[in-house]
Structure 1
Amino acid sequence: MKKGVVTLLVLVLASTMVFAQGAPEGADDQTKIGVSIMELSAYTWYLGVIDGCEQWAKDNPEANFTFQFEDSRSDVSTMLNNIEALVTGGAKGIILFPADASSAIPTMKQYVAKGIPFVIGDYAQNPQKESDIVWETFVGHDMRMLGETAGKVAVEYLKTLNKQNPVCLFISRPTSGQVSLDRYEGFRDVVLASFPKARIIEEGDVGAGSRDSAQSLMENVLQREPVIDVVSGHNDAEVVGAYNAAKAANRREIKFIGIAGDKDVLSYITDGNESWIGEVLQNPVDLGYQATEAMYQALVEKKTLEKVWDLPKPEAITPANVADYDWQNWSWL
């Protein structure tokens, strides 16, 4: 996690050009792995996935894996073109962080039939029939558990209020489908288990899914909701946008819990901003590292993998433990 990727960050954010990392050119025993990533420009969180892939290659030099990374920019057509370009460019396997829940399935079936294995990362696919499940395994964090972990942070704070009927807001992302629903339901169920009379408000951000769109949504919510105790949401962009709206409205009583791993949120917690009571870490380095390990086992070792690959459980970073995390040196922030 401490490995510097400043040059990589500049390249990713300044250009949409394809870039490759790995063994030196000309090595006869290279195995090229294509990595199609959902979004690099808007969600630099995915830089941690790149770091994880490269860390795996560093730890396993005998594999001679080299990578070609492409950014789908959250666009299905771009994702499908990227997959084709990766295979045409000589990739022996594809690690796919999809742009949606199903559009890549026909393309995967086409290339799997030609001997190209796929590992799915982060965004679980929604097959319509058994024959659609052609990928080797899914490597992703438990989305419900992310929400549950945020809910546990909320519960610990709500206990200090001595209220039987606290009010919580969760900003979901309807365009993310089941992924967002799982996070919301995990949060909701944990809070209600401790506070059966709690009111859980779900608001869906159907806009850009950015800080700005979440801020606009929160501005509307604040006009009608005189009491909100805790806000969490699908990811940090949603929660930071809500925080910005509450701050502008001088609603200082509201506490916030992020999900993913955002530099600003971690700075708020470290600096003692009392509005922030937690950040649920969804570690992208683990994601890239384990997805590459899964590809190695499938492609090189020819193993039959479980359809869901175990990842470490999400961690709650709070004011009480933030000093234990060397987040300032996380290359993907």
Structure 2
Amino acid sequence: MINRRTFSGLAATAALALGLSASATLAQENGELVYMTPGLDLAFWRYVSEGVRNVAEENGYGFSALDSTNDPQTQLQNAQDAIARGVAGIILSPTDSSTAPAVLDLAQQAGIPVVIADIGTDSGEFVSVIGSNNYEGANGVGQALAEAMQAEGKEGGSIGIVGISQARLNGQARTQGFKDAVTEAGITGDAGLQQMQAYTADETFRFTQDMITANPQMTGMFVQTDGPTLGALRAIKAARMDGEILVGAFDGIPEFVPLLQSGELVVSGMQQPYLMGQRSAEAMVEHLSGGTPEKEITVPILIVTSENIDEQLDTIRETVFANELE
């Protein structure tokens, strides 16, 4: 005889199985959304991926993420693989703006819609592009860093930049926005720009060491993405110049929270990658449902400083860190 507790358990198991089966059937009917990312080794792209996954699964689509490992050829192969699988749609964060058109051309020939999530493209057909105003965000970082330098009497020194690829439209915008802000503040010392290739903390550690050696008067730095910023801070500590060189960053990882709270990091212009992923998938779902999403959708950048970090924490916990922050 099956007792009531056993029966309830069996019923719950059956209901769960039925629900999973229904979800799988719906996903199979709707097809698959693929997110192609420059590199899942960077937290930013993992958070975008989670945002895409969230909306895809809520709307009954299958989901997978394809890592291009910052290599255009791998990106092209990923596109070919996705097209061969007959996916319903591709959400693309290209390795850089000049490599996106090749993917867009392949997808157009196959009749597969593409939504672009950040970075942008030099040309090509796409449903929608979701991004942030990188110029405005970097300008805000520049303003905050300049104010901090002026408050500590460091405005007479120079500022070094460790940039993301300047072949990316967003990289160009971050550099120009930041430079315009510090120039307007009267800070003209330039310690040069080093351009990332590996996008690692170790790479930026070496860049920062070189900048410190070549520019003993450097009093400020701008690192244009999150993880590598940790390498810059480590190099500054190793040179025993913590507090002497003020650092501004872009994007955000959980490690930034205590660094901002302590003042070791002055400011970061935080895009909202989880929200960006959600908006990208929503645009794709709208298109696949017969709608017409906006051609350009802008997700605001949050200027998070050592002074406002605590009041911004609830927002960034979800939209920046995809609820990974404890």
**TM-score over 0.5 for the pair:** yes
Other-structure match for 1:25: 24
RMSD: 2.6
Deviation at 1:151, TM superposition (A): 0.6
Higher helix share: 2
Other-structure match for 1:76: 72
Aligned-partner Cα distance in 2 for 1:309–1:211: 31
Q: 1:231 to 1:262 in 2, by over 3 A?
A: same
Aligned-partner Cα distance in 2 for 1:45–1:332: 12
Other-structure match for 1:8: none
| 2:259 is aligned with 1:268 | yes
SS of 1:251's partner is coil
SS of 1:261's partner is coil
Other-structure match for 1:211: 201
Aligned-partner Cα distance in 1 for 2:22–2:220: 48
The within-5 A match list for 1:1-333 is 24-27=23-26, 29-40=29-40, 42-57=41-56, 61=58, 63-127=59-123, 133-162=124-153, 165-174=156-165, 176-195=167-186, 197-252=187-242, 253-270=244-261, 272=262, 274-303=263-292, 305-306=294-295, 308-311=296-299, 313-324=300-311, 325-326=313-314, 330=321, 331=323
Decide which structure has the larger Cα Rg and report it. Answer: 2
Deviation at 1:68, TM superposition (A): 2.1
Q: 1:157 to 1:26 in 2, by over 3 A?
A: same
The answer on whether the counterparts of 1:72 and 1:99 sit within 8 Å (CA) in structure 2 is: yes
Structure 1: segments with no counterpart, 5+ residues: 1-20, 128-132
Deviation at 1:222, TM superposition (A): 1.3
Normalised TM-score (structure 2): 0.82
Aligned partner of 1:117: which letter? P
Deviation at 1:135, TM superposition (A): 0.8
Q: Percent identical across equivalent pairs?
A: 20
Deviations 1:198-247 (A, max 9, x none): 31333213553321111112112212322222211221234322221111
Query: Alignment length, in residue pairs?
Result: 299
Aligned-partner Cα distance in 2 for 1:298–1:153: 39
Deviations 1:102-131 (A, max 9, x none): 33423422332442111111121112xxxx
Q: 1:115 to 1:23 in 2, by over 3 A?
A: farther
Aligned partner of 1:204: which letter? Q
The answer on whether the counterparts of 1:174 and 1:204 sit within 8 Å (CA) in structure 2 is: no
